Chains A and B, each alone.
Chain A
Amino acid sequence: MTPADQSISNIRAGLLKKEFSAVELTTEALAFAERENPKTNAYLRLSPERALETAARLDKLVASGETLGPLAGVPVAVKDVILTKGLRTTCGSKILENYTPPYDATAIQRIEAAGGIIIGKTNCDEFAMGSSNENSAYGVVRNPIAPDRVPGGSSGGSAAVVAQKTAVLSLGSDTGGSIRQPASFCGVVGVTPTYGRVSRYGLTAFASSLDHIGPFARSVQDAATLLEVMAGRDPMDSTSANVPVPNFAAKLDGDIRGLRIGVPVEYMKHATG
């Protein structure tokens, strides 16, 4: 079993069939991430204490036969611009080298409430300002597919951990392409949701009216599930949209005949191959 090589549904099935416990899975995911991370520098730090505590709580739910949340037992990595209570958050900058947030971002609260396990914080361009992850105060991130190349940015670490399988899911932030572009560079799924879909409470601002939190995953299905968990009105962010959250994952098999996709041809003018 390579824990972070799994999907949300595999992990759920394994927990319910008692093939492994959440603590076992988390322990193995943390060990794997620690061993593999030097190849990419995608994680800035792991969070074993918090991860194992969350996993132990989840195992109690499993034992008592309670209904599990949609992200039960799933290792989730978090870009280091998103606040995690008690877990150092540097924004890839020496300015915040010793900053330990006193509260969790709403997205983090919702992920843990859904059974997700926060296993570490990922590298990024300093304060999310960059498109290659070469501008982190803590060193460049290497692309797991081609280590001599950049993973994109600014959410380069979050794209890399999912591609490297040292996490099942991760969170990034996007102001001008910082999720979409590294997802593309690393060959994973990244979603920048509509503005207001996911609360920005606890996201270090780059440009508030353009900032988004969004998911990385290895399948569209898993990205949809993570987005659904995070989405929805939050009283702590007055720009979060007060509109119902659809079941994104359930809509993935629909018919796309007649769907129109816009391509800005000006950008493609000089493309080759």
Chain B
Amino acid sequence: MKLTEAQVRYVADLANLSLSEEEIGRMVHHLGGILEHMDQLAEIDTEGVAPMTQFLAEAEDTATLREDVERPCLSNEAALENAPVSGDGYFKVPRVIER
């Protein structure tokens, strides 16, 4: 698939990045190249190729779940210790949803 400038602008906006015209041109080229590579990979005939295995391939669906038991966790105070700004038990960050 061919990446468009509009798509790069849209993704940059979602990521809260401001790109110059020159950078947008570069991203169309670089990101587009990655997507084109994916298209090439998708063309490979994988019919009859056994899936690669990994350690949980043969495990039960619930193998990674644990018992739901009460246990101690980080205190609110400890969790906020590194926050430059906090208040009312929360991290305070600049508003990013509406700009």
Contacts and interface: CB of A to CB of B under 8 A. Distances in A.
A242 interface: yes
B65 interface: yes
Chain A: number of interface residues, binned into ranges: 10 to 19
A243 interface: yes
A203 to B, nearest CB: 17
Interface in B27-86: 54-56, 59, 63-66, 74, 78-79, 81-82
A99 B82 contact: yes
Contacts of B55: 194-197, 241, 243
Interface in A188-220: 194-197
Residue among B55, B59, B63, B66 with max Cβ neighbours from chain A (10 Å): B55
A235 B64 CA distance: 8
Contacts of A196: 55-56
B78 A102 contact: yes
Nearest to A101: B82
A100 B54 contact: no
Given A98-B82, A102-B79, A102-B81, A238 B65 contact: yes
Nearest to A236: B66
A37 interface: no
Interface string A77-104: 0000000000000000000001110110
A221 interface: no
Nearest to A237: B64
A98 B84 CA distance: 10
B60 to A, nearest CB: 10
A239 interface: yes
Nearest to B60: A242
B66 A235 contact: yes
A98 B82 CA distance: 8
Contacts of B56: 196, 239, 241
A104 B71 CA distance: 17
A271 to B, nearest CB: 25
Contacts of A241: 55-56
A196 B59 CA distance: 13
B81 A242 contact: no
Nearest to B80: A102
A100 B64 contact: no
A242 B66 CA distance: 11
A194 B54 CA distance: 9
Contacts of B66: 235, 238
Contacts of A98: 82
Interface string A98-121: 111011000000000000000000
B65 A100 contact: no
B81 A195 contact: no
Contacts of A243: 55
Contacts of B64: 238-239, 242
A100 B74 CA distance: 14
Given A99-B82, A103-B74, 20 more contacts: A98-B82, A100-B81, A102-B74, A102-B78, A102-B79, A102-B81, A102-B82, A194-B55, A195-B54, A196-B55, A196-B56, A235-B66, A238-B64, A238-B65, A238-B66, A239-B56, A239-B64, A241-B55, A241-B56, A243-B55
16 contacts: A100-B81, A100-B82, A102-B78, A102-B81, A102-B82, A194-B55, A195-B54, A196-B56, A197-B55, A235-B66, A239-B56, A239-B64, A241-B55, A242-B59, A242-B64, A243-B55
